Amino acid sequence: MALSLLLGSLPAAAAEEQAPSEDALDFAEAAVPVDGSEAENALQVQVAAQLFTMEQGSRPTCKPKLLNARVIEPERHDAWVERWLVRGCLEILPYRVAFAPDPQSGAVAFTVTEDVGTHGAPSH
């Protein structure tokens, strides 16, 4: 599953439809700053809220915990990729977070995908 968000360029109606839940924002604000992330804190909050939403959608009985992040593809042309680790139900789940500027708005967009290897196992 891949989810994207473009910060700073959504029309008001679209922003309201995609607004994270209060629980997601509480989770995100408590997790920031994220150790190892190169993203600004406001962007980290948005990524963390998205991860919380993804985790709650697939594992609603678990309370996820954001562990850390690390750059796996260094910045090039204002774009970079990080791996964020989330502790779910008794397991650590990696997520690939790709950051890139939107050429039209200049805002930073990100895409979150589950980081799985070729055989379905997390790639660490």
Domain spans of the chain?
Answer: 2-114
pLDDT of 7 over the 60 cut? no
Place of tokens 């589950």: 114
Note whether 83 and 68 are within 8 A (CB): no
**Of 72, 29, 73, which is closest to residue 47 (Cα–Cα)?**
29
In the prediction, which pLDDT does 116 show? 75
Query: Across the chain, what does the average pLDDT equal?
Result: 82
Percent of the chain with pLDDT over 90: 54
Cα Rg of the chain, angstroms: 14
Residues 6+ apart with CB under 8 A from 119: none
**Of 1, 2, 9, 4, which is closest to residue 105 (Cα–Cα)?**
9
Beta bridge partners of 16: none
Place of tokens 């789940």: 93
pLDDT of 120 over the 50 cut? no
In the prediction, which pLDDT does 117 show? 62
Residue pLDDT, tens place only, 99-108: 999 888 889 9
Residue pLDDT, tens place only, 71-92: 999 989 899 999 999 998 888 9
In the prediction, which pLDDT does 123 show? 53
Q: What Cα–Cα distance (Å) separates residue 50 from each residue in 22, 23, 36, 47?
A: 12, 11, 18, 5
pLDDT of 69 over the 90 cut? yes
